[in-house]
Structures are given as structure tokens and as C-alpha cells.
């Protein structure tokens, strides 16, 4: 059985998908663009986009009854790996202890001209 998670503390889905799905003891968070849900705006710098995407993920996890401490895996999609170091610096401020497993890939483009999109899988 799966349950859809939705919160207004993260941007609404821009397509036919859920912000997250809970299945059993696991939360699957869809890729989060760096959109501030209160303004609908996106910061310009890659580091600030990473901060907003991770904040959105934290808010969705909270709505699901989980947290960043329970994240098992993260996927990061970037349009320019030249921003890798500044994104890593922000990323490291969101996690402590054993960091989640992670992949980071460069992509040709992301929705709405974003520089970054981040997805996560966590335990409840």
C-alpha cells in the first residue's frame, strides 16, 4: 500500500506526480526544484538553489513523519558540475553523522531553468 504526501511548505508538483510517496517504512521524495513555496521564486546561485531544494525535502519529510536524519539516499541533478563544490558545502550543512548514499550527475536541462534538482529516499 502506498500513500501520497503533500504539504504547502514545499512547492506543488508541476506535473502528474506526488511530492512524496510512503510505502511501508520508506519515504520516496520526488525531485525538488529550488522553488520557494511562499513566493514561487527560485534563487539564482547554485548554492542557494541547493539550500532551497534541501529545505523543500526536509519539509516534505516532516509532513511524512520523517526527517533528514533518516535519509538513506540522495540523487542530485545539476546543469553544471562546475558548481559541485559550492553545492557540497551547502549539502554538508543539512546532514550529520553518516552521510546518505548519493549520486550526482550533470544533465542538459532541468524544469523552469533550474540549476539543480534533488531527490531523496528516507526511512519513516
Per-residue pLDDT reduced to its tens digit, 62-91: 999 999 999 999 999 999 999 999 999 999
Domain span holding position 98: 2-123
All residues at 6 or more sequence positions from 13 whose CB lies less than 8 Å from its CB, including other chains: 19, 30
Mean pLDDT of 95-116: 96
Per-residue pLDDT reduced to its tens digit, 43-67: 999 999 999 999 999 999 999 999 9
What confidence score (pLDDT) does residue 97 get? 86
What confidence score (pLDDT) does residue 14 get? 85
Torsion on CA atoms 84, 89, 90, 93, rounded to nearest 10: 140
Q: Please tell me the total count of domains within the chain.
A: 1
pTM for the full predicted model? 0.97
Question: What CA–CA distances, in Å, run from 24 to 13, 21, 30, 100?
Answer: 22, 10, 17, 20
Q: What is the domain-level CATH number for residue 98?
A: 3.30.1330.40
Per-residue pLDDT reduced to its tens digit, 7-55: 999 999 888 999 999 999 999 999 999 999 999 999 999 999 999 999 9
Amino acid at each position: 500500500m502506498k500513500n501520497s504526501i503533500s504539504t504547502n511548505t514545499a512547492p506543488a508538483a508541476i506535473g502528474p506526480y506526488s511530492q512524496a510517496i510512503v510505502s511501508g517504512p520508506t519515504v520516496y521524495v520526488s525531485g525538488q526544484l529550488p522553488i520557494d513555496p511562499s513566493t514561487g521564486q527560485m534563487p539564482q546561485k547554485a548554492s542557494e538553489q541547493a539550500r532551497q531544494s534541501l529545505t523543500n525535502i526536509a519539509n516534505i519529510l516532516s509532513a511524512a513523519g520523517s526527517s533528514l536524519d533518516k535519509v538513506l539516499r540522495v540523487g542530485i541533478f545539476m546543469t553544471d558540475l562546475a558548481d559541485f563544490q559550492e553545492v557540497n558545502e551547502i549539502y554538508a550543512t543539512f546532514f550529520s553523522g553518516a552521510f546518505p548514499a548519493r549520486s550526482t550527475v550533470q544533465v542538459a536541462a532541468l524544469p523552469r531553468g533550474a540549476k539543480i534538482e534533488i531527490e531523496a529516499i528516507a526511512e519513516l
